[in-house]
Structure 1
Amino acid sequence: MERERVAIVTGGAQGIGREIVETFLREGYHTVVLDKEQMMEEDSSHRLMYLQGDLTHKAFLEEAAAKIIEDFGRVDCLIHNAGASHEGILSGCSYETFNEILHLGITAPYYLTLKLKDHFAPGASVVNIASTRAHQSQADTESYSAAKGGLLALTHALAMSLAGIARVNAISPGWIDTQNSSFHEADLLQHPSKRVGVPQDVARLVWFLCQEDSSFINGQEIIVDGGMSRRMIYHGDEGWQYQPQGK
C-alpha cells in the first residue's frame, strides 16, 4: 500500500500560505506548517502538524526537519512560502534587519531543503513562492526584492543539483489580496485580467506543480499577476500622468 503523502509549508499560518495548507489538507495530505505566527484556526482532519518557531534560526530548522523525518520519514512536497515585509534604504533598513530578511527568504529555504533532501519521496516537488518584485520594484523595498531575487536564483540552482531527486520551481505572485479588501475600480481595471489576485490563484498553481503530470516543468518561474508585469505605460498612456513626488 502506498504511504500517505506529506507536504511541508513554511509561512502557512495565514494568507497565501494558509490557502496552500488548506489545499493539501483537502487532498488528503499530511501537512506540516512551519511558522512564527499562530495558526488562525485548527484543522479537524488530524492531518495538520503545526511547528511554531523562527525560520531564521538554524536550530529551529534542524529541530523541525528532525521532527518531520521522525514522524513521517518522507517529504512529497516542500513549499517555501515564508517571507518578510518590505523595508529599504529610504526608511533606513538596518544591517541586521536586511540580513534577517535574507535569512528568512533565502537561507531558510536552502537549509531546510538540505536537511530534508535525503527523505524526498519519488517524484517529490519543491515550490518556492517568490514575487514579481524580483523583477520590478517600488521605492524603499530593497530587502524584500533582494530576498525574492535570490530565491529565484536558488530555484534554478537547486533544480540542477536535485535532478532526479526532486523538481524545483518558483511562483512569483503579483498583487494578491489576502484580507478580503475593497478596491477602487481602477485597482481592478489596471490588471489585464481585470481583477486583483486571490490566494487560491497561487495555491492552485502550487498544487499543479506538485503533481506527476507536471514532471517536465523544472527549474522554472511562473508569474501569477493578472498580466500586470507585461503592461507598458508611459506618461500620457491610458489616462496615466507622471507626477513626481514633491513637485
Structure 2
Amino acid sequence: MNKRVVLITGGAKGIGRGIAEYLSQDMTVIAVDIDEDAGHQLVSDNPLIRFKPVDVTSEQQLEALVVEIKNQHGRLDAVINNAAIADPYNPPLEEIDIQHWNRVIAVNLTAPMLVTKLCLPLLKQNHGRVINIASTRALQSEQNTEAYSASKGGIVALTHSLAVSLGPEITVNCISPGWIDVIGEPLADYDHQQHLVGRVGKVEDIASLVAYLLSEHAGFITGQNFVVDGGMTKKMIYQ
C-alpha cells in the first residue's frame, strides 16, 4: 500500500518543520516554504522529506505545485496550512500601513483558502483531511496585534466554513497553539510555571495532535478548533 501524501506549507521552520519531521516516518511529506535555505537544511537533516520553494500567495506557483504532486505521487491525502507571517505585532493603529495589513492577511488567511481550493480535486479522491494552524491570538490579544489576530481569527472561521462546504468527503479542523518553544531558547522558571501544566509547549505537542487528526481515529471530527496552550486561555489573570 502506498504511503499517504501530505502537503505542509511553511514546513521548513518552526512548528511546520516539527510537524513535517514528526509525520515523515509514516507518510510522504512535501514541505513548501519561501525560505529556500531553511528548506534545503530540512531535507539535509531529514532526507525523507521532500522540499519545494513556493510562495503561498502565488496562485501560479501553487497550481504548478499541485500538478507536480499529481504527476509524481498520483494522490494527496492531507493539507496542513501552516505558513504564516509569525510576528504578531504591528504599529499602533494610527500608524499601521495598509500594505502590512494586506500582506499579513494574504499569507495567513487567503493562502490557506487558496491552497485548499487548488488541492481539492486530489483531496476528494481519498477522503482527504485539511488542518489549519491558527493561534490562541484568535481568542485573546495584546496591544498592537490587529493584523495577526484578525488573520488567525479568520482561520478559525474559515475552518468551520470549509468543514460545512467540503463534508462529508473531506474533514477540516484547526489547531490554535499557545506558547510553543520552537528553537530551544533559554526560558525562565516563571515562563514554565505560569502555564497550568507547568511548562511551555513543545513542537511535539502540536505535531502529535496533527498526526491524530490525520488518523483513522479522527474520522468523526470536523469543523473544530483545538486549543493547545497548556491551559493559558482558561487562566484568569488580574494584577
In structure 1, the partner of 2:211 is 207
Larger Cα-atom Rg: 1
Kindly indicate whether the alpha-carbon contact (under 8 Å) linking 1:123 and 1:212 is maintained by their aligned counterparts in 2.
no
5+ residue gaps, structure 1: 236-247
Structure 1 segment 1-247 matched on structure 2, within 5 A: 2-27=1-26, 29-37=27-35, 38=37, 39=39, 40-43=41-44, 47-84=48-85, 85-90=87-92, 92-120=95-123, 121-235=125-239
For these two proteins, the number of residue pairs brought into alignment is: 233
1:181 alignment partner AA: E
The Cα offsets for residues 154-186 of structure 1, whole Å up to 9 and x where unpaired, read as: 100110111022100000000001110111111
In structure 2, the partner of 1:239 is none
In structure 2, the partner of 1:238 is none
Structure 1 length as normaliser, TM-score?
0.89
Q: Per the alignment, in what secondary structure is the counterpart of residue 41 of structure 1?
A: helix
Q: Per the alignment, in what secondary structure is the counterpart of residue 179 of structure 1?
A: coil
Q: Per the alignment, in what secondary structure is the counterpart of residue 71 of structure 1?
A: helix
2:103 alignment partner AA: E
Kindly indicate whether the alpha-carbon contact (under 8 Å) linking 1:135 and 1:149 is maintained by their aligned counterparts in 2.
yes
Shift of 1:43: 5.0
Q: Per the alignment, in what secondary structure is the counterpart of residue 77 of structure 2?
A: strand
Name the Cα RMSD after superposition.
1.6
In structure 2, the partner of 1:240 is none
Q: Distance in 1 between matches of 2:67 and 2:215?
A: 25
Stretches of 4+ moved more than 6 A in 1?
none
Shift of 1:44: 7.4
Q: Distance in 2 between matches of 1:234 and 1:110?
A: 38
Q: Distance in 2 between matches of 1:127 and 1:104?
A: 16
Kindly indicate whether the alpha-carbon contact (under 8 Å) linking 1:7 and 1:76 is maintained by their aligned counterparts in 2.
yes
% same residue? 38
Residues 125 and 90 of structure 1, relative CA distance in 2, 3 Å threshold: same
Q: Distance in 2 between matches of 1:123 and 1:46?
A: 28
1:178 alignment partner AA: V
Q: Distance in 2 between matches of 1:173 and 1:74?
A: 29
Residues 7 and 36 of structure 1, relative CA distance in 2, 3 Å threshold: same
| More displaced 10-residue stretch of structure 1: 202-211 or 109-118 | 109-118
| More displaced 10-residue stretch of structure 1: 14-23 or 39-48 | 39-48
Structure 2 length as normaliser, TM-score?
0.92
Q: Distance in 1 between matches of 2:79 and 2:214?
A: 9
Instruction: Please state which structure has a larger fraction of its residues in helix.
Output: 2
Q: Distance in 2 between matches of 1:43 and 1:125?
A: 28
1:17 alignment partner AA: G
| More displaced 10-residue stretch of structure 1: 178-187 or 84-93 | 84-93
In structure 2, the partner of 1:242 is none
Q: Distance in 2 between matches of 1:125 and 1:212?
A: 11
Residues 4 and 43 of structure 1, relative CA distance in 2, 3 Å threshold: farther
5+ residue gaps, structure 2: none
2:179 alignment partner AA: W
